Amino acid sequence: MSIKPKKSLGQHFLTDSNIIRKIVDSVRCATDGNVVEIGPGTGAVTEPLLERFPSLEVIEIDERAVDFLQATYPKLKIHQQDVLKTSWQSLFQREGETERPISVVGNLPYYITSPILFSVIDERSLFTEAIFMMQKEVAERLTAKTRTKDYGILSVQTQIWSRPEYLFTVSRHVFNPKPNVESAVVRLTFDTPDPGVDPVFLKVLIRTAFNQRRKTLSNSIKSILLDTFPKESDPDGAKRTQFSLENGLHRRAEELEPSEFIDLAKAFLRETF
Ligand code: SAM
């Protein structure tokens, strides 16, 4: 099937059956499981997925691809919509059905990789795993370790809310058209314990800390320190200094493990309530 790839929709169709098989083999769900594919395009990954997971459902925005898929796979359940406007909860957890956790798969449209990741992470209780192809550079950030240049907001957030694994690298030569960058497949497994802390505050803390990643935390998160210990109640900054000492704020954001961000958020919240 040839539909003219649209750059604006991040369309790079996979042409290598070996890579396609590796992606499908990375899904660890039972054959009667709940598998959803994002961006099936012209069905390169959809066909082998459907063979293995007959109740596969897909989300695709491009009407031309939807028409083709409908004609080729009449039994395939297709949601023609923007994945970023999708409420996973309302689309896939149907009334009267027992909850069936979702394995989500996709050779993602790269222009919206991060928002897709965060939409899945935000509704993570619905998912067991996500197998996503993305730019290699983004995959390296998701799985980066502390004290590396790739370690940042994306790494900490992903590693708090899931267990990411870098599965394999994919050459740009197996796509039509070829993207400008190398790709990689990552699997996120949603089996990490709930950190037991307000996710909104945690997000603000991580973001603020990395916005000035070269500074020590006592400087980069000064605004949060001042909100927690306002000048009126701590005119000489003694409480702030004490808190900074106790929580190792002489370090920089890139030195903190994801679990240490959770501990820090909890320490702040203890002071507030
Ligand atoms: N899965 C196919 C393959 O591997 O050959 C196509 C992958 S292509 C990189 C990304 C797909 O995502 C395209 O089919 C594109 O139309 C679709 N897409 C782009 N933006 C989307 C959006 N906001 N919501 C749903 N699908 C989208």
What is the tens place of the pLDDT at every residue in 50-99?
Answer: 999 999 999 999 999 999 999 999 999 999 999 999 999 888 877 666 67
| Residue 265: partners with Cβ closer than 8 Å, 6 or more residues away | 195, 197, 198, 201, 202, 205
Closest CA to 155 of 138, 172, 143, 164: 143
Q: Which atom of ligand 1 is nearest to the CA of 6?
A: 16
- Shortest-distance Cα residue to atom 17 of ligand 1: 39
- The residue contributing the CA closest to ligand 1 atom 1 is 40
**Ligand 1 probe mutation, 7, 42, 62, most atoms within 8 A of CB:** 62
As a whole number, mean pLDDT of residues 10-22 equals: 98
104's enclosing H/E stretch is: strand 102-107
Separation CA 59–CA 37 (nearest Å):
6
Query: Which of the two residues, 265 and 33, has the higher pLDDT score?
Result: 265
Rg (CA), the chain: 22
The residues, any chain, with a CB within 8 Å of residue 247's CB and separated by 6 or more, are 263, 264, 267
Residue identified by tokens 């099937």 is 1
Find where tokens 């507030």 sit.
272
**Ligand 1 shell residues, CB under 6 Å:** 9-14, 39-41, 44-45, 59-62, 65, 82-84, 107, 109, 112
Crossing angle (nearest 10°) for helices 199-211 and 153-161? 150
The whole-angstrom separation of Cα 239 and Cα 229 is 7
Q: If pLDDT is split at 50, 70 and 90, which confidence band does 33 have?
A: confident
* Residue pLDDT, tens place only, 229-260: 999 999 999 999 999 999 999 999 999 999 99
Could you tell me the domains of the chain? Answer: 7-189 (3.40.50.150), 199-272 (1.10.8)
Indicate which atom in ligand 1 lies nearest the CA of residue 14: 5
Whether the model clears a pTM of 0.85, i.e. scores above it, the answer is yes
Q: What is the whole-number distance in angstroms between the Cα of residue 39 and the centre of ligand 1? A: 3
> In a mutational test of the pocket of ligand 1, which residue from 1, 8, 13, 72 has the highest number of ligand atoms less than 8 Å from its CB?
13
What tokens appear for 208 in the block?
Answer: 């603020």
pLDDT tens across 196-225, in order?
A: 999 999 999 999 999 999 999 999 999 999
pLDDT tens digit string along 110-165?
A: 999 999 999 999 999 999 999 999 999 999 999 999 999 999 999 999 999 999 99
Strand pairing report for 163-170 and 127-135: unpaired
